[in-house]
Structure formats: C-alpha cells, structure tokens
Amino acid sequence: MATTDAGHSATADHSADSHGHDHDHPSYLAHHFDTPEQQFDSGKLGMWIFLVTEVLFFSGMFCAYAIYRSWRPDVFEGCSQFLNTKLGAINTGVLLFSSFTMAWAVRASQLEQHKKTAALIASTLCCAMIFLGVKAIEYSHKWTMGLLPAGLFTYDPSNPHPVGGPNYLAYICAPFAVATVGIFIWLVVSFLRGAKFQFECAKPILVVFLCFFVGVGLGTILESGGSESHGTEHAAHVEGGEHDSHAEGEHAGEGEHAAESHEQEAATEETAEAAPTEAIAGLVAPGTMVSSDNELDVIKRLAADTTNTGLQGELAARQAQNDMANGAITYHVYDDVSATVAAAEENVMRKSRAGVFFSIYYCMTGVHAIHILAGIGVLIWLLVRALRQDFNKNYFGPVDYVGLYWHLVDLIWIYLFPLMYLIR
Amino acid sequence: MSAHEGSREGYDFAHPLPLPLLFGVFVVLTLLTVLTVFQANFDLGSYDIIVVMIIATIKAVLVGSIFMHLAFDKPMNVIWFLGSFVFVGLFIMFTLFDNRASQGDDIPVTNDAVMAAPAEG
C-alpha cells in the first residue's frame, strides 16, 4: 500500500503542488487516499467482496454434498466410519486456536506491539502446518486403503490393506522436507554472511516448517491410538486401518511385517464378511437380470393388462434389479416391491457409492487444504513485514485482511468437520 | 468517520478488541466443538443434521462477529457478507427441489460390482 515511485512521478508531472502535501502523507498511506481510515476501509471492503466470492465458490461443493447425501444417506453413514473423528476434532481445535492467535495478532498490530505481532503470526503459521501434517496422515492412510475418488476407487472389503502400494506419506512429505532443508540452508547462509534481517526471518519460518512434521507425528499417534471410538458395524475395516497406520508410522522395513500379520487377521475376518459380500455380488452381476431373459417380452405383454397386478409387480421388481445392476444412484420407488432386492440393504463400498462420497470428500477437504496452503504463503509475507515493523495503529490493514481470510477458511472447516466426520 | 478527541479526522481509528473477549470466544468455540463431537454418540435420527448445523452456525456467528469484527464493522461489510449466504441458500434450495426430478443414474461408473472375496482357505 506504500506510495510507489511510479505513482509519485506521474503525479509530479501533472502538478508540482502534489509534493507539497507529502508532509501530510505518511509513507504507509497510498497517494490516492486522503486518510489512513479511508485506505483501511477501502481495502477491507475489497477483502469482504473477495470473501463473498469464496463463499459462493465453496457453496458449489456444499451443494454437491447436499444432493448426494439426500440421494444416498446410507452411503454417507457407511463411509463416514472411515474418517477418523479424533483426527478431525484435533484439526478443528488446531484451526480454532490459529484463528484465536490471528485475531490476537490483529490486536497486537493495532497496539504497535511489533514482536508480539510477529510471534502471533508465527504461531498461526505453526497451527496451519500442524493441520496440514495431520491431513497428510489422513490422506495417505486412505490412499493406501484404496479409498479414492470414484474413478480410482479400489477399496476391497476383503483386503482393505493391499501390500506393495507406493508410500504416499513420503510423497506428501517430500515437498515439505525439501522446503525445510532449503530454509535451513538459507538460515545458515544468512548467519554466515551476517545478514541479520534475513536470519531473523529464517528462524521463525524454519520453526513453522518443522511444525508440519509435528503434525505428521501427532496424526500418527492419534491414528494408531485404538479403535474403540469407531462404529461397530465397520469395526473390522477400521481395526484393520489402525494396524496399517502402525506400519506407516514406523519405518518402511517394519511395514511389511505389520502387513503380514494383518493378512492372517484378514483371513479370520473373511468368514464374517465374505458371505454377504458374495451374495450381493451375485445379485448385481451387470445386465444379466433383464437382457438375457427370454420370458421378459411375454411378461411385459401380459403386464400391459392393468388387472394383472402380480406380473406388473414382477416387472417392477426386475426393473429395480436392473437399475441396481447398472449401478444406479437413485431408483424408481415401487410401493409393491418392498420385499424384493430394491429393499435389501446393499453394500455401499463400491465405486458408484463410496467412490462418489470420497470424490466429494477429497474435493471439499482438498480445496480447503489448498486454501490453507495459500494462507500459509500470505502469512509468511505478513510475518516478514511484521518483523520489518511495517505496521502501526494507522496501518494494520494487511494483518486485518489476511486475518479475515484466515477466519473464513476456519469458518468453512467449522461446517466441513461435522458434515463429513460426524455422521452416524 | 467519527473524529476522536485530540486526533485528526481519519487517524487513530483502530479499535483493538480486549484480549479476554478474544480468549473467551476461543474457549466457547472449543467447548462447542467438544459438544458437537459428543452429540455424535447419540442417535438423534433425522434431527442429527439439524443439531449439528445449529452448533456449527453458532460457532460461525461467533467467529464472524468477534474474530472477523463484524459486530463492530461498517454495515456495508455485514450486508455484503450476509448477502452471499442468501444466494448460497437460494442455490442449494432450488437445486434440492429439483434433485428427484431426474431419476436413474447420472454418474456413469462401469465395473461397479462389489469385489468378491477371493477364497483364501
């Protein structure tokens, strides 16, 4: 917001007087504003309008959520069991705390407490990194299990933890590790060259990046911390999940060992799970219900007679079976076929059921995580400016605006958390 | 644009919020988070989603009014922000009115059979 040289010279060309007012114009006040308050209010209105576009942008995803949940509430109940409530709750707390430190940072910058402002912005950044670290554990755990968006969904109830997949956690951590090493090198170089300000900047930023790995550690501990809190129906799957996270948390060498022990467990689980799974798999073999049936035409002709209610019911039942076999999301509702396959409880762990749930899940939480990443970028810029002591009681706009953005990201998570993690 | 005693118009407009207020809001938000996790243990049937959304909205109002200063802000900013939720409401409501109009499968997925358990013995 500082007056640029270009702006100055342009105005100076028009009238020499404009420089005469410069004793009135502090360095932080842009030339086209009369007072700092006017500058602050204009910036704030602009920020609010940007936040409005953010709200509308996220509403598209909430709408997709609302539609699919109203279509298939059972899918949401089933799939929500795969989301770890403990990790979600911890992340909510971390984000709320970061909102608190951010609001406090705005206060500190208004009171011109420069060191406090920088420290509070750094704590906000640390919380953001812990959030991402926990998220990395959640994502890598689900990817290993094949709980992916619809097109990639490969989850197999009888083998929830396939061995030999890529180590997703390492891939997620790699960019952060590279950045951390880079910042450490920057810290050392700036120290050796005696660049004091750079050294002062690099110190908190290094701590911030190390916090990502604190988050990863926290997530690992919580993920492996017992399965009591999960729903009983899916206890078998979730329990398996806990075992796998042990393998992830420890070193790669031990991973195979844990996977081996799990396979024995899978064999015992199978007796319980295989029977219903196979029964449903037999029913939904695609296309076989209607197309290969020679009697169907006869039935259709006989059912054209409105008095022939029995055959109409049978036709409706076949239609329902066919819809289901083709993976339909919604069915025609037939009153008189309540005892047929349409009324039977179906396995939701399929591409067109759980797959779509996880598409929505990754879309919403992923876009939210991208917003966290963007927030981290802006907050680092803010941290450097706070260390430079740019802000004062008449110029704290940037802290306030970034704070507004950060609170909005928190606000979205406040809705996302119960809608995703707390469905029973 | 209220002028303050002993200061120029348009300067010294900052109103730092008291720290106890900020911390109090944080504590209330944390308690509400605990409450919303706790209520998930009870089967409230279809009221579940309503309870959850009410708690989330209380939290959102707290964050908006105190942390985002909306309670002390210019009315124009409040109108802009709340106005966006009017349109979000319209958007979601009208889409949900329509959502049973198209039956059948709108999300084509092939190879959708449940993976059968291989016999391992």
Q: Are the Cβ atoms of B67 and A270 closer than 8 angstroms?
A: no
pLDDT for the residue numbered A310: 74
Residues of B with CB below 8 A from A267's CB?
A: 120-121
Q: What's the Cα-to-Cα distance from A168 to each of A81, A145, A174, A239, A370, rounded to whole Å?
A: 21, 11, 10, 20, 18
pLDDT for the residue numbered A287: 44
- Within this chain, do residues A100 and A156 fall inside the same structural domain, yes or no? yes
- Within this chain, do residues A311 and A365 fall inside the same structural domain, yes or no? no
Ranges of each domain in chain B = 17-68, 74-102
- Which pLDDT tens digit goes with each residue over A266-317? 444 444 444 444 444 444 444 444 444 566 777 777 777 767 777 777 777 7
The answer to whether residue A250 sits within a structural domain is no
Q: Are the Cβ atoms of A281 and B116 closer than 8 angstroms?
A: yes
Q: Which pair of tokens denotes residue A43? A: 């910036």
How many Å lie between the alpha carbon of A189 and the closest alpha carbon of chain B? 39
Whichever domain contains A216, its CATH number is: 1.20.120.80
Residue A141 lies in domain: 44-225+349-422
The pTM of the full predicted model, rounded to 2 decimals, is 0.75
Residues of A with CB below 8 A from B113's CB?
A: 281, 284-286, 350
Of A97, A107, A407, the CB nearest to B63: A407
Residues of A with CB below 8 A from B27's CB?
A: none
pLDDT for the residue numbered A124: 97
Do A223 and A245 touch, CB atoms closer than 8 A?
A: yes
* Count of A-B CB contacts under 8 Å: 213
Q: Which of B36, B76, B115 to mutate to test the interface with A (most CBs of A within 10 A)?
A: B115
The answer to whether residue A2 sits within a structural domain is no
- Within this chain, do residues A215 and A93 fall inside the same structural domain, yes or no? yes
Q: Are the Cβ atoms of B80 and A37 closer than 8 angstroms?
A: no
* Phi (first) and psi of residue A277, to 5 degrees: -60, -50
CA dihedral angle for residue A231, residue A237, residue A242, residue A246, rounded to 10 degrees: 180
pLDDT for the residue numbered A325: 67
Task: Domain count for chain A, please give it.
Answer: 2
The segments of chain A whose pLDDT lies below 70 read 1-24, 225-295, 306, 323-346
Q: Are the Cβ atoms of A330 and B22 closer than 8 angstroms?
A: no
Q: Are the Cβ atoms of B103 and A332 closer than 8 angstroms?
A: yes
Residues of A with CB below 8 A from B60's CB?
A: 411, 414-415
Per-residue buried b or exposed e for B8-45, using 16+ beta carbons within 10 Å of the residue's own CB: eebbbbbebbeeeebeebbeebbebbeebbebbeeeee
The answer to whether residue A273 sits within a structural domain is no
pLDDT for the residue numbered B1: 43
pLDDT for the residue numbered A311: 75
- Within this chain, do residues A192 and A70 fall inside the same structural domain, yes or no? yes
DSSP B64: I
pLDDT for the residue numbered A295: 67
Q: Round to whole Å and give the CA distance between A138 and A358.
A: 13
- Residue B37: closest C-alpha in chain A: A422
User: A247: part of which helix (H) or strand (E)?
Assistant: helix A235-249
Of B23, B37, B103, the CB nearest to A85: B37
